[in-house]
Structure 1
Amino acid sequence: MSESTTTIETAWLAIGQIVAPQGLRGEMRVNPSSDFPERFLIPGPRWLRRPRQTEPEVVELERGRAIAGKNLYIVQLAGITSREQAEALRGCELLVPASDRPELDEGEFHVLDLIDLSVIDQASSTPLGIVRDVVSAGNDLLVVELTDGREVYIPFVEAIVPVVDLAQGRIEITPPPGLLEL
C-alpha cells in the first residue's frame, strides 16, 4: 500500500489526519495514511483541508518526527505556536498533490490505482466484483464489493492475488475455499 484512498479531487492525495495536539508549543499528532515517512519528516509545503471544506490551504511543514512504537508522527506547521492553535486543527487532513506520488518498485501499487479495478476469479474467468478500498491490517486487505452486493476482505498477497493488471483494469484472484462466503 502507499497513499490513502481519501481524495478531495483527483488532484490531491490525503497523507494523514491531525488527531491531537502534542505538548504546549503547537506540535500535532498525525495519523498517517501514507507509507512514505518523508511526507512527515522533510520540511516543505503541504496542504491542509479542514472538515467540511473542499478547497485545501497551503501550509508549511517545519519539522516532523515519528513516535517510536506507534504509527503516529509529530509535526510542526509554520505559524502554529500554541496548543490551542493545534487543537483547532484536530480532524484536518494533510494533503499533497497527486503529481507527487513516489515511484514504486515492481509488484508495488498505489492504493488509488487499485480502487475500482474489476476482480476476476482466475480459474473460471468469472467476474466477482469491484475493489472499493484497501485496508492496512498487517497485510493489506482489498475491500471488494461482490456482484451480489456483499462486501468481502481479500488478503492482498501474491498467493491469493497473483495478477494485478492496471492496463486492463483488473485483478485476478485465486480465493481459498470459503473466502468469498464470509
Structure 2
Amino acid sequence: MNRIGKASRREGAKNTKPEKKKETNPKSKIQNPKLDDWLEIGKIVAPQGLAGEMRVYPNTDFPERFEVPGKRWLLRPGDMEPQPIELVAGRYIEAKNLYVIKLAGVENRNQVEELRGCKIMVPESDRPQLAEDEFYVPDLLGLEVFLQASGELVGKVVDIIPAGNDLLEVELDPTFAPDKKQKTVLIPFVEAIAPVVDIPARRIEVTPPPGLLEI
C-alpha cells in the first residue's frame, strides 16, 4: 500500500464498487441489522494440508488480522450472528495473495471442509488506528469531489483503484460535463492533487493539473 501522499486502507469492503445483480426475491433486499457493527476481514476458501490449517482470502490490508493470535469471530453461511473463535497462528502466502491460518479446535481437513465459505469477522469498533493521510476505503466511497479553486462539483467517488498511487474513480456530475459521453474520471489520490479530504463533511477538494479532467 502506497504511503506517499495519501493512502486508502481496505477493511471489510472487498468489492468497493456495487455489484449489479438482478433481484429475483424481494427478501434478498432485507439486510441483517445484527451485522451492521461487524467487518468481514476474510473468507475461508479451502483446506491447507491435513492438519487443520485453512486458506483464507483476505478482505483487509492489515496483516495482523491473520498473523497475530487472538480472538476473532466466525460467521457461518445462513447464521445471523458471528460466533467467537481463537486464531492460533497465521502466515501470508504472497504468491497466492492469501493467508494460511490455524483456528483452535480445528485439527483435520474434514473439519476445515465444514468451514469452507465461512467469513471471519471483527467488530467495527476494532478498526486499527490509521496513520495521518490514510483513510478506510468505505469512508471514501460516496464522498463528493469539488474543484478547490472554484468550488465546482466534479462528482462523487464510486471506487478506489489500487495502483502505485491509489486512484479515485469519480462518477462525473451531470452539471460538470453535460455534453460528454464519459461518465467517470480517475484522479490520483495524492497530496498534491487531493489536498483536502474531509470525512465528516463528506467532501474531497482537488487541484487537478491541466488536462487531468479534460474529457
TM over 0.5: yes
Task: Report the alpha carbon displacement of residue 151 of structure 1 after superposing the two structures with TM.
Answer: 4.3
Aligned match of 2:183 = 150
Aligned to 1:67: 93
Q: Alpha carbons of 1:150 and 1:85: their partners in 2 closer, same or farther (altered >3 Å)?
A: farther
1:21 aligns with 2:47: yes
How many Å separate the matches in 2 of 1:180 and 1:10?
A: 40
Higher radius of gyration, 1 or 2: 2
Cα–Cα, structure 1 residues 107 and 72, in superposed 2: closer, same or farther, change >3 Å?
Answer: same
Report deviation, 1:164.
0.7
Deviations 1:104-127 (A, max 9, x none): 221111223222221112233222
Q: How many residues align?
A: 181
Q: Which amino acid aligns with 2:152?
A: T
How far is 1:152 from its partner? 4.2
**Deviations for 1:28-70, whole angstroms, at most 9, x for unmatched residues?**
1222222221110111111222345442222221111122455
Contact persistence 1:5–1:133 (CA under 8 A): no
Name which of 157, 162, 167 aligns with 2:195. 162
C-alpha distance in 2, partners of 1:139/1:33?
Answer: 20
Aligned to 1:4: 12
Distance 1:86 1:135 in 2: 33
* Between 34-43 and 130-139, the greater mean CA deviation after superposition: 130-139
Query: For 1:83, which of 105, 109, 124 is the aligned residue?
Result: 109
In the other structure, the counterpart of 2:72 is 46
**5+ residue gaps, structure 2:** 1-7, 16-31, 175-181
Q: 1:96 aligns to what?
A: 122
- The 3 A distance-change label for structure 1 pair 158 and 20 is farther
Let me know the Cα RMSD of the aligned residues.
2.8
Q: Taking every aligned residue pair, what percent have the same amino acid on both sides?
A: 56
Whichever residue aligns with residue 159 of structure 1, its letter is A
Length-normalised TM-score, structure 2: 0.70
Contiguous gaps of at least 5 residues in structure 1:
none
Q: Is the 8 A contact 1:17 1:93 kept in 2?
A: yes
One-letter amino acid of the structure 2 residue matched with residue 26 of structure 1: G
Distance 1:46 1:151 in 2: 38
In the superposition, the TM-score normalised over structure 1's length comes to 0.81
The answer (yes or no) to whether the contact 1:152–1:180 under 8 Å persists in 2 is no
Counterpart AA for 2:40: A
1:151 & 1:143 partners in 2: Cα distance? 7
